[in-house]
Amino acid sequence: MERIIYHGSSNLIKHPVYGKGKPYNDYGLGFYCTENPDLAKEWAVNESQDGYLNSYKIDDTDLSILKLTDKEFGILHWLNILLQNRQFDMPSPLAREAKKYINENFSIAYEEYDVIIGYRADDSYFSFAQDFLNGTISFRQLNHAMRLGNLGEQFVLKSKKAFDKLVFCEYEKADKNLWYPRKELRDRTARQEYYNMDKNQYQRGDIYIVSIIDQEMKSDDKRLR
């Protein structure tokens, strides 16, 4: 199918270059887009600089797509990819063991796909994942936290084949005075909702990372769905 996707940036980018970019983004090296133009405008700006909404069309008919929000995948598959690409603070033995266990039991050969569709881990969401690894919040609470703030999904081009199918359409200026406050509000909303979530209240059946490790839960375990 043909999609319209958007990339928010401080630059006008007509021809994204395969192999360029930051390798420590959520899903590794790739071109990060979204199907939501408003989100892309928020991502394009910072407190002191306007940005650009770059618009593209892409026919993904013959592209292999890993959609991490499909039912066959769980939040720990997403966390596994994040652990491979982002720098986590691992101060405790539990967190280090959690990282090892998730990487051994919830791995996906994500680099083999042309496109990845999945959550975006901005700073607040990144902290939710760290809390889970440190045993502060349960699996249920992590799942709930990942839906706070309505950050939407990323559409990430990973392969040269995907890059070759990308066609630039147009661009639009993103005004920092309009879109940066919205960006900040979205992040504050997620953080406030997370703060208001009673992280200390145990619910019967709650599963924490220590139980996942001790009971050797795997990706097909129904308790992790």
- Give Cα 101 distance to the centre of its chain: 20
Q: Name the β-bridge partners of 154.
A: 118
pLDDT at 13: 97
Query: How confident is the model at residue 123, as a pLDDT?
Result: 66
- Specify the residue for token string 């045993």: 135
Domain extent, residue 177, equals: 2-217
Residue 225 lies in a domain: no
DSSP 100-133: HHHHHHS---GGG-SEEEEE---HHHHHHHHHHH
In this structure, is residue 223 part of a structural domain? no
10 Å CB burial of residue 33 (0-12, 13-18, 19+) is buried
How are strands ordered across the β-sheet holding 2-9?
2-9, 51-59, 167-174
* Predicted local confidence at residue 76, as pLDDT: 94
pLDDT digits (tens, 9 = 90+) for 142-168: 887 776 655 668 999 999 999 999 999
Name the 3-class secondary structure at 180: helix
Average pLDDT per consecutive 10 residues, the chain (225 residues; last block may be shorter): 96 94 87 94 95 98 94 91 84 91 95 92 74 91 73 88 98 97 85 69 84 95 88
CA quadruple 104, 107, 112, 118: dihedral sign: negative
pLDDT tens, position by position, 17-52: 999 888 888 899 999 999 999 999 999 999 999 999
Residue type, 56: Y
Query: The tokens of 109 are what?
Result: 């050969």
Is 222 part of a structural domain of the chain?
Answer: no
Q: Collect all residues with Cβ–Cβ distance below 8 Å to 104 and sequence separation of at least 6.
A: none
Who contacts 53 (Cβ-Cβ below 8 Å, separation ≥6)? 6, 7, 8, 37, 40, 41, 44, 171, 172, 173, 174
Q: How many domains does the chain have?
A: 1
Q: What are the structure tokens assigned to 102, written together?
A: 């998730």
- 13 within a domain of the structure (yes/no): yes
Q: Is residue 224 part of a domain?
A: no
Domain contains 46: yes
191 belongs to a structural domain:
yes
Query: Is 12 within the bounds of a domain?
Result: yes
d(CA 163, CA 203): 46
What does each C-alpha distance from 177 to 8, 41, 184, 189 come to in angstroms? 15, 11, 11, 19
The neighbour count for residue 178, using CB atoms within 10 Å, is 12
